[in-house]
C-alpha cells in the first residue's frame, strides 16, 4: 500500500476538498477543548463549543443545504484499520493535525463482506477539510507519523452515531446497523467484533505503522 494525498486525482472516487470556509476558530477551539490520547482513539459526536463557532452555520446552511448537523471530533493515536463504516450522508472531516484516512468503496461490499486489500490510504494535511461521500467506507483516522496523535473535526447529520433504533431485520444490510445512521463492518480481531458487531472486514487488519515511521 502507498500513501497518496487527498489532493490526488485518486481521491475523487471517495471525496473532495471542502474549501471556501474559515475553519480557524473551529480548529483552535478543538485544540482547547479536547484531548489527544497517546494510546487510543476517542470519538464525541456533538460538542457545544465546536457548534458555537461561525463554521457551524456555514457548514449547516451552505455545505449541508440547511440540514441539521452535529460537529464533534475523533482524536487519538492509531495506525490500524480495524473496521469500516458508512452513513446515508456525506461526512466532513477537518484536520487539526496531519492524519491518514483509510478508505474503500461501499460498492465493493459483497454479501456483507469486503476484503481489506480494497483499502486505499490518503494523507490529509493539517487545516484541510474533506467531504467523504456517503458511499465511502471509512473509520477512525490514523496518525501521519509514528508516535504522533491527531485531532479531527467530524461533521455529520444531527443524531448520527447515537443509539441505534430497535428494528426487525428486513434484509441483509440490517445486520450491519450498529448505531443511528451508522452501518459497520468489523475485523474479527477488534473490540467491536467482540462486542457483537458484524464481522465483514476480511483479510489482514491493515496496520500502516511501517509506512509512517
pLDDT for 28 equals 98
Mean pLDDT to the nearest integer, 2-20: 98
pLDDT for 104 equals 98
Element (H, E) at 19: none
Q: Which CATH superfamily is domain 3-211 in?
A: Jelly Rolls (2.60.120.10)
Report whether 37 contacts 28 (CB < 8 A).
Answer: no
Mean pLDDT to the nearest integer, 61-84: 98
pLDDT for 35 equals 95
Give pLDDT tens digits for 152-171: 999 999 999 999 999 999 99
Whether 213 shows a pLDDT value over 90: the answer reads: no
Whether 131 shows a pLDDT value over 90: the answer reads: yes
∠ CA 205-211-212, rounded to 5° = 110
When pLDDT is cut at 50, 70 and 90, the band that residue 206 belongs to is very high
When pLDDT is cut at 50, 70 and 90, the band that residue 3 belongs to is very high
Report whether 114 contacts 202 (CB < 8 A).
Answer: yes
Mean pLDDT to the nearest integer, 173-199: 98
When pLDDT is cut at 50, 70 and 90, the band that residue 145 belongs to is very high
Query: How far, CA to CA in Å, does 60 sit from each of 30, 70, 146, 168?
Result: 18, 9, 34, 32
Give pLDDT tens digits for 25-34: 999 999 999 9
Amino acid at each position: 500500500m502507498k500513501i497518496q494525498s487527498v489532493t490526488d486525482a485518486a481521491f475523487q472516487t471517495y471525496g473532495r476538498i471542502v474549501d471556501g470556509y474559515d475553519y480557524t476558530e473551529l480548529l483552535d477551539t478543538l485544540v482547547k477543548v479536547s484531548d489527544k490520547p497517546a494510546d487510543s482513539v476517542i470519538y464525541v459526536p456533538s460538542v457545544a463549543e465546536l457548534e458555537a463557532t461561525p463554521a457551524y452555520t456555514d457548514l449547516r446552511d451552505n455545505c449541508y443545504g440547511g440540514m441539521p448537523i452535529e460537529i464533534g471530533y475523533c482524536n487519538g493515536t492509531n495506525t490500524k484499520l480495524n473496521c469500516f463504516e458508512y452513513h446515508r450522508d456525506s461526512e466532513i472531516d477537518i484536520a487539526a493535525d496531519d492524519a491518514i484516512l483509510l478508505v474503500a468503496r461501499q460498492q465493493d461490499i459483497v454479501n456483507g463482506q469486503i476484503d481489506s486489500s480494497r483499502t486505499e490510504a490518503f494523507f490529509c494535511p493539517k487545516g484541510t477539510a474533506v467531504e467523504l461521500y456517503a458511499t465511502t467506507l471509512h473509520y477512525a483516522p490514523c496518525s501521519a507519523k509514528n508516535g504522533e496523535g491527531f485531532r479531527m473535526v467530524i461533521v455529520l447529520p444531527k443524531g448520527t452515531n447515537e443509539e441505534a433504533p430497535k428494528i426487525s431485520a428486513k434484509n441483509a444490510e440490517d445486520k450491519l446497523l450498529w448505531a443511528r445512521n451508522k452501518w459497520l463492518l468489523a475485523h474479527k480481531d477488534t473490540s467491536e467484533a467482540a462486542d457483537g458487531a458484524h464481522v465483514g472486514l476480511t483479510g489482514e487488519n491493515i496496520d500502516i505503522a511501517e509506512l509512517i515511521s
